[in-house]
Structure 1
Amino acid sequence: MLLEFFGGLITNSLALLSDSGHMLSDASSLVLSLVAIWFATKPASPNKTYGFYRFEILAALFNGVTLFVIAGFIVWEAIQRFYNPPTVASGSMMLIASIGLFANLLSAWALMKKGDVKNNVNLRSAYLHVIGDALGSVGAIIAGLVMWLFGWYVADPIISVLVALLILKGAWGVIKHTVHILMEGTPITIDQNEVKKALESIEGVINVHDLHIWTITSGLDSLSCHILIEDHQDSQKVLQEAIHFIEDHFKIQHATIQIETSQIHHGEMKV
């Protein structure tokens, strides 16, 4: 990170400077991710009945927003350089970017080996930060090669903008996912209609209503619903079958189910 920052100042390369800024954000994001994982291990309390699992989602959202800010800065600076591209020391730039690329690939490999970067949104956001760094280094190498061969110095801001757009794409995915979780959206791997049909297929069940499925944190989904059954049915048997069915078919272990008969009446739910 420091190598690319000072290297960017010395070589006058925006690609290196933007990559070093992104790496600074990465370092902060990785620290924040570790703090989030530590917070998630803290037990629940009367005030925080779900514990601190959501801190991981908040950390991922913060990481996604910082990626947007960094990409915006890169694009703004690149636009200024389009009109008057400065001379860049391309040889030194490629050497420094190559060292940065190696470090980024090593970090990405470590994250993939030690954590679930596919399903854990917190680790995924940190992984995207590192991949964004690697792309920045690749872009700096390509820009350096073009400038070294052809003296076309506008390649530096062009590559910077392309890298920024790739960063924005990854950042948008993280932000969209985390906001969906914070809005109590149904997990993307679960179809609510399928859950409803599955529960209504249980013998003695008339209908399922007020069904809600949401994510507490990565890999931890929750469900609540009301199940109306025939009056002569054994409510505990139906409840046990519903619990097992939800866990076996949809991998939801945190379920709250209210069994009702025709004698139960309650007001209409707002949600």
Structure 2
Amino acid sequence: MHTHDVNAWRHDHTFDQDKFHSGERRTLIVVFLTLVTMFIEIVAGVVYGSMALLADGLHMGSHATALGIAAFAYAYARRHARDRRFSFGTGKVNALGGFTGAVLLVGFAVYMGIESVNRFFNPVAIVFDKAILVALVGLIVNGLSAWILGAHDHAHEHGHEHHHHDHNRRSAYFHVLADALTSLLAIFALLAAKYLGWQWMDPMMGIVGTVLITRWSWGLLRDTSQVLLDRQAHELDDEVRSVIETHASDRISDLHLWSIGPGIYAGVIALVSNDPAPPHVYRTRLQQRLPQLVHVTFEVEPCPGHSGHGLRG
């Protein structure tokens, strides 16, 4: 076989990870909004002597760090997409960024819960008007950020990317959503405390927020860890079998599918048949029906007692 014949069968393993995706653009916009708000609140807190403003500004800084991790994950995956040291491309950097963000989210929830419990036993004087103003500013900024990150694209990029598979974007979304929820609960609690005298509402809403944020972070940790640990993509098993086992003698003997990026999968499939076709026939048929399977290796063997040689491809 000539070299040019081999090259015709070769392909890269970037799987569009070298493209600038919408999740990265949206995350960068949100990082900018968060940094601007952080700067304004810190300056205002120092100038006006408001600890509430200063504390919220520093809190925004912690989330700017988490969002910065998400932005870095996008940039790293894009810039190293053609690095041959990554066997299946850099799609899993997305899940790693999401996992890291989820861990930070858990830390935020734990701190919020401890502080809320402490406020039950050691209440502090609240400057209601300024605290409500800070919460309103936070709600507006984080609500806008959540909308930017959570909005659906009008069209899927490159035919494969679905934003609900983008764990990195999902992590950034949960961070700003957690901030927006915190601000909303704070406004409700502060109004109740100011006008009804229910001081206990402030720490109570903190505990409610802790429970909700912990639930979001747990779901994100579960989903991203499954990707990082190559857990089998069982939701595609039946579809693969329905496409491949169309001939009476074609049967899948071994099937492994795993995620290698947002909404894209790789697979290794072993097939036995009385009359096996070349591997590229099965691969073409499969990718026409399931384009999200971007890298599939077939091993085709004849049934025992039938003539023929095993084929791989």
> Could you tell me which residue of structure 2 aligns to residue 268 of structure 1?
none
Pairing 1:167–2:207 present: no
TM-score by length of 1: 0.83
> Could you tell me which residue of structure 2 aligns to residue 269 of structure 1?
none
Residues 81-100 of structure 1: pairs in structure 2 closer than 5 A: 81-100=119-138
Summarize deviations over 1:90-109 as a string: whole Å, max 9, x none. Answer: 22111111011111112122
Higher mean C-alpha displacement, 115-124 vs 215-224 = 115-124
Which of 47, 54, 72 does residue 110 from structure 2 map onto? 72
* Inter-partner Cα distance in structure 1 for 2:77 and 2:198: 50
Which of 27, 30, 42 does residue 64 from structure 2 map onto? 27
> Could you tell me which residue of structure 1 aligns to residue 241 of structure 2?
196
Which of 240, 264, 268 does residue 224 from structure 1 map onto? 268
Summarize deviations over 1:178-199 as a string: whole Å, max 9, x none. Answer: 01111212337x2424423432
How many angstroms does 1:257 deviate by? Answer: 0.8
1:203/1:242 Cα in 2 relative to 1: closer, same or farther (>3 Å)? farther
* Inter-partner Cα distance in structure 1 for 2:247 and 2:262: 29
1:43/1:52 Cα in 2 relative to 1: closer, same or farther (>3 Å)? same
Summarize deviations over 1:59-98 as a string: whole Å, max 9, x none. Answer: 1000001100110011111111112322211221111110
1:114/1:39 Cα in 2 relative to 1: closer, same or farther (>3 Å)? farther
CA contact (8 A) 2:273 2:300 kept: yes
* Inter-partner Cα distance in structure 2 for 1:89 and 1:133: 20
Summarize deviations over 1:21-48 as a string: whole Å, max 9, x none. Answer: 6533431222112211112222344432
1:40 alignment partner, SS class:
helix
Which structure ranks higher in relative contact order (CA pairs < 8 Å, sequence separation ≥ 6)?
A: 1
CA contact (8 A) 1:101 1:137 kept: yes
* Inter-partner Cα distance in structure 2 for 1:38 and 1:122: 12
Which of 250, 255, 262 does residue 296 from structure 2 map onto? 255
Give the count of matched residue pairs: 255
CA contact (8 A) 2:258 2:266 kept: yes
Residues 204-243 of structure 1: pairs in structure 2 closer than 5 A: 204-205=249-250, 207-230=251-274, 233=275, 235-236=277-278, 239-243=279-283
TM-score by length of 2: 0.73
State the identity %. Answer: 26
- Given residue 76 of structure 2, which amino acid in structure 1 is its aligned partner? F
2:90 alignment partner, SS class:
coil
* Inter-partner Cα distance in structure 2 for 1:245 and 1:49: 24
Residues 6-45 of structure 1: pairs in structure 2 closer than 5 A: 6=45, 10=50, 23-41=60-78, 42-45=80-83
CA contact (8 A) 1:91 1:148 kept: no
1:83/1:56 Cα in 2 relative to 1: closer, same or farther (>3 Å)? same
Pairing 1:111–2:149 present: yes
- Given residue 192 of structure 1, which amino acid in structure 2 is its aligned partner? D
- Long gaps (5+) in structure 2: 1-37, 154-161
* Inter-partner Cα distance in structure 1 for 2:58 and 2:210: 12
> Could you tell me which residue of structure 2 aligns to residue 125 of structure 1?
171
CA contact (8 A) 1:37 1:56 kept: yes
- Given residue 149 of structure 1, which amino acid in structure 2 is its aligned partner? Y
Summarize deviations over 1:131-176 as a string: whole Å, max 9, x none. Answer: 1111011011111101110222221111111111111111111101
CA contact (8 A) 1:12 1:86 kept: no
CA RMSD of aligned residues (A): 2.7
1:200/1:27 Cα in 2 relative to 1: closer, same or farther (>3 Å)? same
Which of 51, 54, 60 does residue 89 from structure 2 map onto? 51
How many angstroms does 1:122 deviate by? Answer: 0.8
* Inter-partner Cα distance in structure 1 for 2:195 and 2:208: 20
* Inter-partner Cα distance in structure 1 for 2:294 and 2:59: 38
> Could you tell me which residue of structure 2 aligns to residue 181 of structure 1?
227
Higher mean C-alpha displacement, 96-105 vs 27-36 = 27-36
1:131/1:20 Cα in 2 relative to 1: closer, same or farther (>3 Å)? farther
1:118 alignment partner, SS class:
helix
- Given residue 214 of structure 1, which amino acid in structure 2 is its aligned partner? W
